[in-house]
Amino acid sequence: MRNDKEIIKFLKRPESSEEGYHSLLQLFSYSFYKFDVIKNNYECDAVFHDFLLKNIFHNKTFFLFLHSSDEKDIMPYLKKMIRNFLINLRNKTIRKGTDLSLDETLNDDSNDTFADMLKNERVSHELIFEAKSILSIFLNTLTEKNKRILCQYLYSKKYQFISGISRDAFDKAVERTKKKVQEIVEQNKLSFDSIKVFFDYIYVSEVCEKMRLNNGDSDEK
């Protein structure tokens, strides 16, 4: 029988619970066969260890979530991670899928605020946490020019975040910035859902609006 408490114990301290390891493998194996990953000639144990290495132990966002959340919130989040990982593996379109989701997200003209996100019952506690974590990752990784290029690209109102650049140069800068964003997504193993929440609710209101207001601009001007 699967023991969720031992799974959480194993996730926090891998050397502390062999039972947690086997319980997590049992959970993973159930989804592995459910999503027909076996048809693509993958061995369950090998895929499980790859998941542990890349998506659990080297995942900064998950580490923060794991050590700051209530235990009742951890297992639903973990199950979602497993499901997304296996669906991507089954379809063999991890990179393509990320690119498509990223383009769709960046092309979304939503300027909702963080307060709007908190009111949206469809946005889970786990996604809110992950999306908030993403903000610090982007702020520490993107250059000031990257941030302004993204704001110019995403902002639905008329405002100039970057000047002295031709349309052609701007379009090329957007593509370079998108690639940078893509690298951040892949290096930090960020989920599609969390990236969508981040760009739908956080980036424009927490980065672009603050940048605009710091320049002394307001809607009345």
Same domain, 79 and 160: no
Q: What is the pLDDT of residues 191-202, one digit of tens each?
A: 777 777 788 778
Q: What is the pLDDT of residues 33-86, one digit of tens each?
A: 776 655 555 678 888 888 888 888 888 888 888 888 888 889 988 988 888 788
In a domain, 139, yes or no: yes
Residue 130: phi and psi, rounded to 5, are: -65, -40
Residue 142: which pLDDT band, with cuts at 50, 70 and 90? Answer: very high
pLDDT for the residue numbered 96:
43
Same domain, 121 and 77: no
In a domain, 221, yes or no: no
Same domain, 194 and 113: yes
- Indicate the residue among 92, 123, 143 that finishes a domain: 92
Of the listed ranges 97-106, 124-133, 162-171, 173-182, the least confidently predicted one is 97-106
Same domain, 161 and 194: yes
Give me the torsion for CA of 182, 185, 186, 189, rounded to 10°. -170
In a domain, 114, yes or no: yes
- Indicate the residue among 47, 69, 92 that finishes a domain: 92
- Indicate the residue among 38, 67, 92 that finishes a domain: 92
What sign results for the dihedral spanned by CA atoms 8, 14, 17, 22?
Answer: positive
Q: Give the predicted TM-score (pTM) of the model.
A: 0.49
Tokens of 112: 């909702």
In angstroms, what CA-CA distances link 127 with 22, 62, 137, 157?
27, 11, 15, 27
In a domain, 157, yes or no: yes
What is the tally of structural domains in the chain? 2
Same domain, 137 and 195: yes
Same domain, 68 and 128: no
Domain encompassing residue 192: 98-214
